[in-house]
Structure 1
Amino acid sequence: MKKITQLFSVSLFTALVITQISCAQTSTNKKEEKKTTENSVMLAAPAANGKAVAAFAEGCFWCSVHIFEAVNGVDSAIAGYAGGRTKNPTYREVGTETTGHAESVMVYYDPKVVSYDELLNVFFTSQDPTTPDQQGPDRGSSYRSVIFYKTPEEKALADAAIVKYNKSGMFKKPIVTEVKNLDIFYRAEEYHQHYIIKNPNDSYVTNVSLPRFELFKATYKGKLKE
């Protein structure tokens, strides 16, 4: 695990930086969709039918959605924005690095099948949490690593996970992941939802997202969907 994870944090991400292909550059020419308050997703209420929700930021949300939805017990994932101060932000606004928001993912999951603690394992296995305001070729505060918590129990698990992975030897540098209270999650524009599935030939997808996903599958020891 240590050797594979170091490969993730050094070799792959060095290669991705060299490509100079970023999530923001890929979407520069796409039509901007303005959202209203109806597009925001509040996480104060629990999910229906005994399901639960969790939110994370770990770089480009296209990658995050694809990764978390591959995990057994996860029903779906939504791309969005969280952790900032601007109300109803657009993708273009978040990309200016002035809103305080990070590209994030809201995960709907069945706690009887996959625990919150296991989702934290997915989180740390699928990224390099030691690079401040950066994930691979994507740079800026909107690509920072964040665990968003909604309860004291989730915060305690997040804090414990950071201590655990700092001591594990998986990463050569200290983890810089934030642990931040989640008050609101804004759903991203519709063209961002399941972007990888909709755009398999996109240059960012083929050069960054899919290699990252394949490395996650090779590294992660938990159960994935067939």
Structure 2
Amino acid sequence: MRILQIILFSWLISSAAFAQDDETAPATLPKVKPGEAVATFAGGCFWAQEEGFDQLKGVREVISGYAGGNVPNPTYQQVGTDKTGHAESVQVYYDPKVISYDELLTAFFAGHDPTTLNRQGPDRGRDYRSVAFYRTSAEKQAILAAIQRTNESKHYPNPVVTEVAPFSVFYPAEKYHQNYCKLHPEQPYIQSVSLPKVEKLRHAMQGKLKKEGIY
């Protein structure tokens, strides 16, 4: 079922035509600041993931991009063919003294459905799969423990199918994908798919939000 994606991509391209040409170029990854840590997750369309993580205290910046595949410097079009191995992902730059990796995992598992294989809502394909990428053995163990907690909580009727994968490389998505929820809050897909996921994350992370109250 790629009809929605094709329609959405056509809309994106037509919208981008009115922007500067470099909006279709990859975004620039921020430099990691002293004392800062980086985490990478994939949980369906990166627009909602980016917006959700960006609302957490201790998170300085979130970048939408692609990870988990074998094609260097992929484009949105290439990833959308589901042949690159990449998943739409986000890279989170955060202060571990303010928010822990375990708390990021709580937000991750709350902000999407980790029990649907290669699918998030209307979006289908391995590019929309759920993945938690680890950089250290401690992060791997934290992910496995979070999956166990999520399963034991019975919050979801089905077991978690999130992949636990070693981090390799993250490619930033095109500039026009960055901060997409904030820039296009009235876009139909944002209203019907992205914002409900953001609200799920916010509900689970009360007390850890930069701004409490209704989003």
Fold conserved between structures, TM > 0.5: yes
Query: 1:212–1:24: structure 2 CA closer, same or farther, 3 Å change rule?
Result: farther
Is the 1:62–1:79 Cα contact (8 Å) retained in structure 2? Answer: yes
Matches for 1:75-86 after TM superposition, within 5 Å = 75-86=60-71
User: Is 1:112 the counterpart of 2:97 in the alignment?
Assistant: yes
1:129 partner amino acid = P
2:124 partner amino acid = R
CA distance in 1, matches of 2:58, 2:4: 30
User: Is 1:225 the counterpart of 2:210 in the alignment?
Assistant: yes
- CA RMSD, aligned part only? 2.3
Aligned partner of 1:65 in structure 2 is: 50
Equivalent of residue 33 in structure 2, options 39, 48, 71: 48
Aligned partner of 1:30 in structure 2 is: 12
Indicate the SS of the match to 1:213.
helix
Equivalent of residue 91 in structure 1, options 73, 76, 79: 76
The CA deviation at 1:178 is 0.2
Indicate the SS of the match to 1:204.
helix
Give runs of ≥4 in structure 1 deviating > 4 Å: 20-24, 39-42
CA distance in 2, matches of 1:65, 1:150: 20
**Structure 1 residue runs without a partner (length 5+):** 1-16
**Structure 2 residue runs without a partner (length 5+):** 17-23
The CA deviation at 1:218 is 2.8
Aligned partner of 1:194 in structure 2 is: 179
User: Is 1:131 the counterpart of 2:116 in the alignment?
Assistant: yes
Query: 1:127–1:119: structure 2 CA closer, same or farther, 3 Å change rule?
Result: same
Say how many residue pairs are matched.
202
CA distance in 2, matches of 1:166, 1:150: 23
TM-score by length of 2: 0.86
Indicate the SS of the match to 1:175.
coil
Is the 2:119–2:126 Cα contact (8 Å) retained in structure 1? Answer: yes
Is the 1:97–1:140 Cα contact (8 Å) retained in structure 2? Answer: yes
CA distance in 2, matches of 1:183, 1:40: 18
Indicate the SS of the match to 1:118.
helix
User: Is 1:151 the counterpart of 2:136 in the alignment?
Assistant: yes
CA distance in 2, matches of 1:99, 1:181: 17
Query: 1:82–1:124: structure 2 CA closer, same or farther, 3 Å change rule?
Result: same
Is the 1:125–1:219 Cα contact (8 Å) retained in structure 2? Answer: yes
CA distance in 2, matches of 1:207, 1:21: 16
TM-score by length of 1: 0.82
User: Is 1:181 the counterpart of 2:162 in the alignment?
Assistant: no
Q: Could you tell me the percent identity over the aligned residues?
A: 48
Aligned partner of 2:189 in structure 1 is: 204
The CA deviation at 1:207 is 1.5
